Amino acid sequence: MKAFILERYGKQRALRLADLPRPELRDDEVLVEVHAAGVNLLDAKIRNGEFKPILPYRLPLVLGHDVAGVVVQVGPQVRQFKIGDEVYARADDFRIGTFAEFVPVRESSLAPKPRGLSMVEAASIPLVGLTAWQALVEQGGLRRGQKVFIQAGSGGVGSFAIQLAKHLGASVATTAGAVSAQAMHKLGADLAIDYRTQDFEALLRGYDLVLHSQDGKALEKSLRVLKPGGKLISISGPPDPAFAQASRAPGIVRLLLRLLSAGVRRRAQGLGIGYSFLFMRAEGSQLREITRLMDAGTIRPVVDKVFPFEATNEALAYVESGRAKGKVVIQLK
């Protein structure tokens, strides 16, 4: 099969197109023929070597976490899927590799593709959809009538999270450029703050939940817009003790991970606020819930740009540039 491989870690290092054998299946996996693959900032960070301490991949490595495609082979323990099924998934950690013609995915991580979506649209959903679900529903417990601040609303996670939060009945504030404000309101945001000219800390008070995805300065300010008992869930760090404990990192690395968030956890505790770090995981049951929302038209995909498979490096560079409004997808078929 054709695949783009990472031969050495390095910032902006190009992936090389290569011919590889089809992946061998484990008993609980299906082999998916990739029709489209979402591109995420996580792919660039892994390529750059930023996750080496906690995700010690062996090189050469095929990157790519999002997939939409068709089942072409099933393992002997698989019961829910058959050859020919249209599916989508966030590939499992240590089994990533959707920048290729075929990828193995655990049955428990897979879900039927939403009926009304194209393969390209479906491939844009898994990682950002699961991130939003695990932040707002699983960890955040967001309820009707609560107020949530979702940073970077025009990004992949933000554009999905706004729609999910509105479906849950929350009042939604977000940050975006002035040209994106109308699009944010269409997605469901009640308040769109121009991050270039407005200070969100001066405009927001008494919030129940913050989904943080920006830098340390925004993190400190976000603590102050929450009410006592509120929660800040970060997808950009620093990692918390729960993540450190769950990681496969060596003991000294787990200790360092805990220490990285000691300061912010202490400040959050002083304000009566909960702080947690989310590194999303593949989860087919949650993806099925998302499928139902997509099929009902409750949430729609936001795709910024589609690249051909041959332009995978260009797609990765575009995502890393920060210019994408929504998701970037690679199309194979």
Average pLDDT of span 151-161? 96
Q: Which DSSP state fits 105? A: E
**Helices 156-167, 126-133: inter-axial angle, 10-degree rounding:** 50
Structure tokens at 291: 């499928």
Lowest mean pLDDT among 158-162, 234-238, 255-259: 255-259
pTM of the model: 0.96
Give SS3 for 228: strand
At residue 130, the pLDDT reads 98
Average pLDDT of span 288-298? 97
At residue 248, the pLDDT reads 72
Average pLDDT of span 62-78? 98
Using the CB atoms, write b or e for 24-45: b if 16+ within 10 Å: ebeebbbbbbbbbbbbbbbbbe
Q: Give Dmax (Cα) for the chain.
A: 58
Average pLDDT of span 125-150? 98
Name the amino acid, one letter, at 121: E
CA torsion sign for 282, 30, 61, 291 is negative
| pLDDT, tens only, 180-227 | 999 999 999 999 999 999 999 999 999 999 999 999 999 999 999 999
130 neighbors 164 (Cβ within 8 angstroms) = no
The confidence band for 52, taking pLDDT boundaries of 50, 70 and 90, is confident
Q: d(Cα 323, Cα 166) in Å, to the nearest integer? A: 25
2-125+301-331 in CATH: which number? 3.90.180.10
302 neighbors 117 (Cβ within 8 angstroms) = no
Q: d(Cα 213, Cα 152) in Å, to the nearest integer? A: 7
Please say if the pLDDT value at position 142 is more than 80: yes
Name the amino acid, one letter, at 303: V
Average pLDDT of span 269-288? 97
Hey, what CATH topology would domain 128-277 get?
Answer: Rossmann fold (3.40.50)
The kind and range of the H/E element at 31 are strand 29-39
Q: Which DSSP state fits 90? A: E
Name the amino acid, one letter, at 81: F
Please say if the pLDDT value at position 18 is more than 80: yes
At residue 208, the pLDDT reads 98
CA distances from 146 to 132, 230, 270 (A): 16, 10, 22
Q: Which sequence spans correspond to the domains of the chain?
A: 2-125+301-331, 128-277
CA torsion sign for 257, 258, 259, 265 is positive
